[in-house]
Amino acid sequence: MSATPLMSATPFSTRIVCIGAGYVGGPTMAVIALKCPDICIHVYDLSVPRINAWNSASLPIYEPGLDEVIQQVRGRNLFFTTDDSVITQADIIFISVNTPTKMYGVGKGRAADLKYIESCSRRIGELVSHGHKIVVEKSTVPVRCSVAVRKILSANSKGTATFSILSNPEFLAEGTAVSDLMRPDRVLIGGDQDAKGLDSIRRLASIYERWVPADRIVTTNLWSSELTKLVANAMLAQRISSINSISAVCEATGADVDEVARGVGADTRIGPKFLKASVGFGGSCFQKDVLNLVYLCESLQLTEVAEYWHWVVRMNDYQRRRFCEKIIKTMFDTASGKTIAVFGFAFKKDTGDTRESSAIEVVASLLEEGANVHIHDPKVSFDQVKTDLEMRIDDPRVRQLIYTNVTMSPTAEEAANGAHAIAILTEWDLYKTLNYEAIYSTMSKPAFFFDGRSMVDPKVLRAIGFDTYCIGKATQHPAQFFYETS
């Protein structure tokens, strides 16, 4: 069966093409297809293996509930294809391609790299020769990116085609993508405020209105929408950096960061979410978007504003560094030749994604110290771990250790067997309920425990015999601590 039947042969009311079959494009289009059986959706991607995977029984991404949705809609009104000619017949074209941080030239390390946005805008311009198309920026983009998209489209379009540009950023989080899409806090649509722009906004809003309450559909001008997405991620990252900064204060004073977060989050103006101290945030968005905001502010000569937001990322780096230093210092200033069992490599639980995971930084630091690392993660493959470490480590001496000092264990118990220390880096639920008494008995003594997610009660671990450090909690008993330091 062809994955891409001729669109003109179908009786659909609207035709959508999404360029980019990634974490955002795939699930978003699957849910639109589910809720709108009268809309025909093609998800197009250059990558043949990726499209083949979307057309197979083993999807290229893991998301709870996604398999079920795909089974209902694939071949009905959702199709995955590498044939970009589908673009010509679409009424609405979503651009959902990567916008990684630029790693070269002007804006290196901060600005978003728009080369994929640019190349697909160029391709849309080349392919579409007539009619009116709504082009929707789904990728997170720098403010005023739509100006570039519009310019490229009109410069490359040879016929009579006209375009409306909308911004419709996606707020889904990995691991909860399907439920976030089914019940979004809000759908944001930005567009030009002239008649054509408002009409296009209405048209896109009418699709979401099939399952999202109208009061959750927020419409704005283009720039507000583009900026809102960056600010939403920056403020979420800022909350984590704020509580992580306080975790250092807690460790130094004997306060408990979880108790502080509970007390602070009980204020309805602040709220309880995103106040969990950790070894640092990861994921494909937070660092990239904050740096993107920093770059925007710098470009606008808003130096103080740029500095303010830059500290969100610096605090995250500090938190990771602090955790690694704690491990080394506690283990008598050297991890050389010692074995550390690393529990969790993904950037958060319930995903196999390792992008910007703090675990990459921690394992790289441990290798720099000459440690052996036994990793367990329920969803991450050894190949992925090696690729991440190869990308991260430049020093050839340390790179070599990726192949000699790192192993992947099928269970957490096996990773800890004979190890000198355990470090929890990802908050997988299973690490809460392991039999740590049994694990302790298999480890080298003294056995150390470094809880980077504040998951296991340090009192219980100490009673077992572990020398325990838990992020945001005093290492010693508070009374003893004050006595020693006053």
Q: Is 236 in the site for ligand UDX (CB under 6 A)?
A: yes
Closest approach of ligand UDX to the CB of residue 50, in Å: 19
User: Rounded distance, CA 169 to CA 219, Å?
Assistant: 12
Q: For ligand UDX, give the closer residue by CB, 135 or 237.
A: 237
**Cβ neighbours of residue 307 closer than 8 Å, sequence gap 6 or more:** none
Whether 209 is catalytic is no
Shortest gap between Cβ of 286 and ligand UDX (angstroms)? Answer: 6
The whole-angstrom separation of Cα 159 and Cα 291 is 39
- Least separation in angstroms between residue 107's CB and ligand UDX is 21
Task: Look up 229 and say whether it is catalytic.
Answer: yes
Q: Among 12, 62, 223, 274, which residue sits at the site for ligand UDX (rule: CB under 6 A)?
A: 274
Output the smallest distance, CB 81 to ligand UDX, in A: 25
Q: Which is nearer to ligand UDX, 91 or 317 (CB)?
A: 317
Query: Is 170 among the catalytic positions?
Result: yes
Indicate whether 125 belongs to the interface with ligand UDX (CB under 6 A).
no
Q: Name the catalytic one among 40, 137, 145, 170.
A: 170
Q: Is 285 in the site for ligand UDX (CB under 6 A)?
A: yes
Number of residues that bind ligand UDX (CB under 6 A): 19
Q: List, as one string, the DSSP characters of 272-318.
A: STT----S---SSSHHHHHHHHHHHHHHTT-HHHHHHHHHHHHHHHH
Q: Per CB under 6 A, does 348 bind ligand UDX?
A: yes
216 membership: H or E segment, kind and range: none
**345 near ligand UDX, rule: CB under 6 A:** no
Position 357: which residue type? S
SS3 category, 132: strand
Which residue, 238 or 278, has its beta carbon nearer to ligand UDX? 278
282 binds ligand UDX (CB under 6 A): yes
Among the listed ranges 97-105, 120-128, 280-288, 361-369, the one in contact with ligand UDX (CB under 6 A) is 280-288
**List of residues 6+ apart from 11 with CB closer than 8 A:** none
Nearer to ligand UDX, 281 or 448 (CB): 281
Q: Are 204 and 166 in contact (CB under 8 A)?
A: yes
The verdict on 452 binding ligand UDX (CB under 6 A) reads no
H or E stretch covering 435: none
The bridge status of strand 162-167 relative to strand 187-191 is antiparallel
Contacts for 20 with CB less than 8 Å, ≥ 6 apart: 43, 44, 45, 94, 95, 96, 97, 98, 116, 120, 138, 139
Q: Is 466 in the site for ligand UDX (CB under 6 A)?
A: no
Which of 132, 93, 129, 98 shows the shortest CA–CA distance to 24?
98
Contact string 156-185 vs ligand UDX (x = CB under 6 A): --------------xxxxx-----------
In 3D space, the residue among 43, 44, 47, 15 whose CA is nearest the CA of residue 30 turns out to be: 43
From residue 37, alpha-carbon distances to 29, 192, 210, 288, 364 in Å are 12, 29, 11, 35, 48
Query: Which of 283, 344, 378, 458 lies at the binding interface for ligand UDX (CB under 6 A)?
Result: 283
Residues with catalytic roles: 170, 229, 285
Interface residue list for ligand UDX (CB under 6 A): 170-174, 233, 236, 240, 274-276, 278, 281-283, 285-286, 347-348
